[in-house]
Amino acid sequence: MKTSFYGGAAAIVLVAIAIIAWLSLYTVPQTQFALPLRLGEPMAPKVDPGLYVKAPFIDNIVYIDNRVLDLDTLPQEVIANDQKRLVVDAFARYRVIDPLKFFQAVGSIKGAELRLTNILNSAVRRVLGQSSFLDVVRDDRAGLMVKIRDEVNRESTGFGIVVTDVRIRRADLPEANSQAVFQRMQTEREREAAQFRAQGGEQAQRIRSEADRSVARITGEANGAAESIRGAADAERNRIFAEAYSRDPQFFDFYRSTQAYRDSLKPAQTKLLLSPDSEFFRFFRNPSGGPPGMEASQPTAQPAAPSAPAPAQAAPAQ
């Protein structure tokens, strides 16, 4: 009985010691700082990860995240120094470097974000308000973000926080201004397009005019060459005719008369009322073209010059 009593008491003592040991030990993870509070008063923070001892029932441990945290803000309207309105959406990244000062200044991550949001918005308005629209949108955006970060760090030094980066996610004109700028850009592009079309039409007309002049010049040269060739051909033809006439005037006279018969006596087009003994039909009466009764073999006197028989006058069509 006495032995069991001592065994139960020992068990109770061991349990009490285990509870006291469990309440006296705590760990600090790598991603957090540990700040002991003794009766509500902060003590030296534990910044290195590991196992630590505290006074049970007296000390309380507050854990503070030591990683890089994001701070998002709502878009705000900023007026640049050239009176251009901008809707700016910025965010920041920060981390706690002094947990004791952080706890004493803001108390928690949520309290720190509330304070940093106001500081960040003020720094954005102040820095961008001293810059031009083109600097914010295009020319000096990276430099402006560095200035904003430095401004926030100057004002947040008492919070035990360092801002590692500030970024402008978006910097646009307000919706009404964007529509006006878009309309102005569209009008400008339409004016440039109309100007380009007019210049193209002028150049096309110039090319067409030069082409027309070239066509007229080439056509004129071709027509002149054709007329020259035609004149040379006519001269050659007349030379051949003259040579043929000088060789056999009687045959030449016959040939020209047959041409006159062919041109005047066309089927269903011409009616002639002529005397049978007309000079026009002399080759019908005598193949040699002489007076009736003259033999075809008898030589005929050469005419003074080659002449075609006079064409007969056509009668009116019946």
Confidence check: pLDDT of 140 > 90: no
Binned at pLDDT 50, 70 and 90, residue 69 comes out as very high
195 in a structural domain: no
- Interval 150-203: pLDDT, tens: 999 998 888 899 999 999 888 887 776 666 667 788 888 999 999 999 999 999
Of 118, 142, 173, at which residue does a domain stop? 173
One domain, residues 111 and 154 = yes
One domain, residues 49 and 104 = no
One domain, residues 59 and 79 = no
Binned at pLDDT 50, 70 and 90, residue 82 comes out as confident
Rounded to the nearest 10 degrees, the angle between the axes of helix 109-129 and helix 141-155 is: 130
194 in a structural domain: no
One domain, residues 75 and 122 = yes
221 in a structural domain: no
- Interval 214-269: pLDDT, tens: 999 999 999 999 999 999 998 888 888 788 777 777 777 777 777 777 776 666 66
One domain, residues 13 and 102 = no
Of 37, 65, 93, at which residue does a domain stop? 65
One domain, residues 129 and 162 = yes
One domain, residues 88 and 60 = no
Of 122, 149, 173, at which residue does a domain stop? 173
Per the structure, the complete domain to which residue 137 belongs is given by 69-173
**C-alpha torsion sign, points 103, 109, 115, 119:** positive
One domain, residues 80 and 47 = no
One domain, residues 92 and 149 = yes
Confidence check: pLDDT of 2 > 60: no
Binned at pLDDT 50, 70 and 90, residue 38 comes out as confident
196 in a structural domain: no
- Of residues 289 and 190, more confidence is placed in 190
204 in a structural domain: no
One domain, residues 47 and 82 = no
Binned at pLDDT 50, 70 and 90, residue 282 comes out as low
Enter the tokens of residue 137.
Answer: 């949108």
Residue pair 135/127 in contact by the 8 Å Cβ criterion: no
Residue pair 37/62 in contact by the 8 Å Cβ criterion: yes
282 in a structural domain: yes
Q: Measure the CA–CA gap between 109 and 102, rounded to whole angstroms.
A: 9
Q: How many domains does the chain have?
A: 3
Binned at pLDDT 50, 70 and 90, residue 41 comes out as confident
Q: What average pLDDT is seen over the chain?
A: 79
Lowest pLDDT segment from 95-99, 121-125, 238-242, 302-306: 302-306
224 in a structural domain: no
189 in a structural domain: no
Confidence check: pLDDT of 109 > 80: yes
One domain, residues 118 and 76 = yes
Q: What is the CA radius of gyration of the chain?
A: 60
This prediction's pTM: 0.51
One domain, residues 45 and 104 = no
Q: What is the CATH number of the domain that holds 103?
A: 3.30.479.30
Region 198-217 average pLDDT: 92
Confidence check: pLDDT of 3 > 80: no
Confidence check: pLDDT of 308 > 70: no
Q: Measure the CA–CA gap between 315 and 93, rounded to whole angstroms.
A: 117
